[in-house]
Structure 1
Amino acid sequence: MITVNLYYTGTNGSAKAFATEMEASGIADEIRNEPGNLRYQYFSSLDDPETVLLIDSWTDQAAIDAHHASSMMQEIIELREKYDLHMTAERFISEEMGGDEKFIRK
């Protein structure tokens, strides 16, 4: 699994407005229904009200590449421009928990 954390930052609540429009327009649900998507979820930052975090997880790179090649990406790009958002990203590749599992309370 590949997870990408995308941090959207704007001004005057624009990052939250972007995430709200992504949900209300149905684009977020379309992404969730794409083959290989495992998670697509927005979170608000407690320490920076102008930043929204998107956790976006996929089965593999091929699924991410297909998503990036979809016509939906142009809609997303246009919304980012509309809200004048800036982004940073982190990428993680999952592996077995190993000995860390004992520290996870379920």
Structure 2
Amino acid sequence: MITVNLYYTGTNGAARKFAEEMEKSGTADKIRAEKGNFRYEYFFSMKDPETVLLIDAWEDQAAIDAHHASPMMKSIAELRNKYDLHMRVERFVSEDLPVGDEGFIRK
């Protein structure tokens, strides 16, 4: 699994308005329904009210590539421009926990 953390930053609550419009418009639900999507969820920072975190997880690079090639990306780009957002991205590839680490995970 590949997890991408996207930090959207704007001014005057723009990042939060962007996330709210993504949800209300149904765009976020369409992305969640795409083949290979495991997670698409927004989080709001308690420390920085002008930044919203999107955690976006995919089965593999092919699923991400298909998403990026979809017509939905044009809508997302238009919304980012509408709210004048800037982005920072982190990317993680999941792996099994090393033996012994399970003892530190409370389920």
Q: Which runs of 5+ in 1 are unaligned?
A: none
AA aligned opposite 1:68? H
2:104 match: 103
1:87 match: 87
Q: Normalised by the size of structure 2, how large is the TM-score?
A: 0.98
2:13 match: 13
Deviation at 1:31, TM superposition (A): 0.1
2:39 match: 39
Q: Normalised by the size of structure 1, how large is the TM-score?
A: 0.98
Q: How far apart are the structure 2 equivalents of 1:18 and 1:100? A: 38
1:55 match: 55
Deviation at 1:46, TM superposition (A): 1.1
Helix, strand or coil for the counterpart of 1:31? helix
The count of residues paired between Structure 1 and Structure 2 equals 106
Q: How far apart are the structure 2 equivalents of 1:55 and 1:101? A: 23
Q: How far apart are the structure 2 equivalents of 1:14 and 1:67? A: 24
After superposition, give the CA deviation of every residue in 1:29-56 in whole Å (9 maximum; x if it has no partner). Answer: 0000000000000000111000000000
Runs (4+) off by over 6 Å: none
Deviation at 1:100, TM superposition (A): 2.0
After superposition, give the CA deviation of every residue in 1:18-76 in whole Å (9 maximum; x if it has no partner). Answer: 00000000000000000000000000011100000000000000000000000000000
CA RMSD of aligned residues (A): 0.5
Q: How far apart are the structure 2 equivalents of 1:87 and 1:8? A: 5
Deviation at 1:101, TM superposition (A): 1.8
Q: How far apart are the structure 2 equivalents of 1:64 and 1:21? A: 22
Q: State, as a whole percentage, how many aligned pairs show the same letter.
A: 74
